[in-house]
Chains A and B, each alone.
Chain A
């Protein structure tokens, strides 16, 4: 469904140019869920931005269902590939009601029957209709993230890019949102690319994952391999150790991968 080959992404110009992603490749099949794990600054979110056209300065090849993507994305692409952002407080326009927020993509892509679609979208993410005319500040973090998910799905996309969708949420809410995402993927046969710094979240959600560091993929592995504690790269092993909580003894063995 989505194929990424030798992707390089840059930010800025001239002396301030920043080579954020340095030649990564991966592919996801239809209905699959691919995870990208890494620490902040590893370039994992940048990959998503390049895919959905928010980081125009890239080279390499990107294919969506066998069609090569160019620097400029059309409206149709935007309908088929949607993104859910990390911060449920920042990703919703503070002055728009939920209704307006959900109506906007429908309007851009010239859907009819906007009202019915909004109501259905709200139902699907488990929000009742009393939320329709509220403003984001009247919602809790989890509810906002549900709205963000609803917005991403309201145009019936095929691929959804998830950028740390739960890292700003409390754990109990995180569980709800993760369950919701999993259910929607099953029901609609969606393709996910999930980015997270939390190995447990990726391991829980994805079939296959890649570990990123300094703009490169250091290791790509199936979930079974991770499950069986057999990652080959030392950095992956360290992440795996760290995900198990505080243990004074193991920490001294940590390497700084700067």
Chain B
């Protein structure tokens, strides 16, 4: 286990722009945070730039996006300056990512096992049989009952919860340092969602990884993560410790927390978040609904 530095990832002044025929769209503006071996939540409404931030770390934003940063360092490597080959070695092997819906993020015509074995083979050069064994082990480790059978199954044959476990197994296989989980459970039912999160939690803490958990669900992030980055319109509005979320000071964070319906709110109107233009100062108006 490597633990030379507490900080795995440093992001400073990250900007992502998309040139469009009607001027550039600023998807992410001046975002900074650091990640150690911890669970860091990034929270925001749709279009707040949280997904873009996650992808920029792996340098997988769309080709026409312009990514700039004062600093984007992982384990001493400048991710913006690294060549494609270095990036390929980092991707999967050291930084991995779990996407929202296994229905779309698994290759529909490859068997589940093949897809898991593939990532292992790419990074270890192991022979097929060994990769297969490893894949079955991984399926077992995400508490799939009949791993041999699921190994042969195809993505459309598995439920959403199982699909996401497979995804986790796949991304955990090379034992990376950082996992970026982009809304990994929002396509799942509540109880399954929590079970999958528990699994992710266990794996991350057992292996001492860093986790970036991207979600729109403030309550969930608060109860799951160690620290929370709150994003609004491409910017970080606040970074708070998860335990102290309910003492958050920014009106946006507070507004988000208050407007949630609860079992006790029956019969009353919910407080509505009043947006202020100052939160997104300097951001082109078009971006607000993007």
Contact = CB atoms under 8 A, between A and B. Distances in A.
The answer to A–B direct touch (Cβ < 8 A) is yes
Contacts of A197: 189-190
B224 interface: yes
Interface in B197-239: 197-198, 201, 216-220, 222-224
Interface string A138-173: 001100000000000000000000000000001110
Contact of B262 (A40, A179, A200, A247): A200
A200 B260 contact: yes
Given A140-B289, A179-B272, A203-B261, A171 B191 contact: no
A200 B189 contact: no
Interface string A218-231: 00000100110000
Interface in A212-258: 223, 226-227, 238-240, 242-243, 245-248, 251-252, 254
A214 B273 CA distance: 37
A239 B190 contact: yes
Contacts of A198: 190
A172 B264 contact: no
Given A175-B272, A246-B220, A238 B263 contact: no
B256 interface: yes
Given A39-B189, A245-B222, A171 B262 contact: no
A254 B191 contact: yes
A174 B260 CA distance: 8
A204 interface: yes
Choose among A140, A141, A175, A254 the residue with the greatest number of B CB atoms under 10 Å from its CB: A175
A239 B191 contact: yes
Contact of B266 (A227, A242, A245): A227
Contacts of B192: 39
Contacts of A199: 190, 263
Nearest to B196: A251
Contacts of B273: 172, 175
A226 B263 contact: yes
Nearest to A173: B45
A238 to B, nearest CB: 6
B263 A242 contact: no
Using C-beta atoms within 8 Å of the partner chain, give the interface range for chain B.
Answer: 35 or more
A254 B195 contact: yes
Contacts of A254: 191, 194-195
A237 to B, nearest CB: 11
Interface in B240-265: 255-256, 259-265
Interface in A22-48: 39-40
B227 to A, nearest CB: 15
A242 B191 contact: yes
Choose among B45, B193, B217, B270 the residue with the greatest number of A CB atoms under 10 Å from its CB: B270
A104 interface: no
A238 B270 contact: no
B46 interface: yes
Nearest to B262: A200
A31 to B, nearest CB: 14
Contacts of B191: 39, 238-239, 242, 254
A170 B272 CA distance: 12
B84 interface: no
Contact of A172 (B189, B195, B256, B262): B256
B146 interface: no
B13 interface: no
22 contacts: A39-B192, A141-B46, A170-B46, A170-B216, A174-B259, A175-B259, A175-B273, A179-B269, A199-B263, A200-B263, A201-B261, A203-B262, A204-B265, A204-B266, A206-B266, A239-B190, A242-B190, A242-B191, A242-B193, A242-B194, A246-B198, A248-B198
Interface of B: 45-46, 189-195, 197-198, 201, 216-220, 222-224, 255-256, 259-266, 269-273, 289
Closest A-B pairs by Cβ, 8 of them: A204-B261, A175-B259, A245-B223, A39-B189, A172-B273, A246-B223, A175-B270, A170-B45
